[in-house]
Amino acid sequence: MTATFTLEEINKVAKDILATPNLKKVITFHATMGVGKTTLIKELVKELGVTGNSSSPTFSLVNEYESKTGEIIYHFDLYRINNELEAYDMGIDEYFYSGNWCFIEWPEKVPHLLPLDHASIVIRSLPNGKRELLLKND
């Protein structure tokens, strides 16, 4: 899936992502700082039925949300991880293989810990202020 959108259209993009057939529950997000990874994840969390506020787990590394239907969603921001051992020590692999939604910002910090079977989203900023998104779900 590819999409070009403004931040005002991010809700539609989130709905389109979640409508992807056989979408994997572990999704990595690749983009430079400030392009909208956290904003998109907030929309995905909302679309999955989380009613409370969602925020970036920059300092806690992971936030856990529960949807209205009891589904668990994990949002990781690994920007502050120093190495894979640190992530492993926090039990990150248990989250990734839990069967729950895992949205992972800065996955390049833990390349050897990611499940082989995951989806990835690449977002880049365009000169006109829009964003381009590519979802790989093979």
Domain that holds residue 74: 2-136
Q: Tens-of-pLDDT digits for all 138 residues of the chain?
A: 999 999 899 999 999 999 999 999 999 999 999 999 999 999 999 999 998 766 666 556 899 999 999 999 999 999 999 999 999 999 999 999 999 999 999 999 999 999 999 999 999 999 999 999 999 998
The region, left, alpha or beta by phi > 0 then psi within -120 to 50, assigned to residue 18 is: alpha
Cβ contacts of residue 98 below 8 Å, gap of 6+? 72, 74
Domain count, the chain: 1
In CATH, what number is assigned to the domain containing residue 74? 3.40.50.300
Question: Which pTM value belongs to this model?
Answer: 0.93
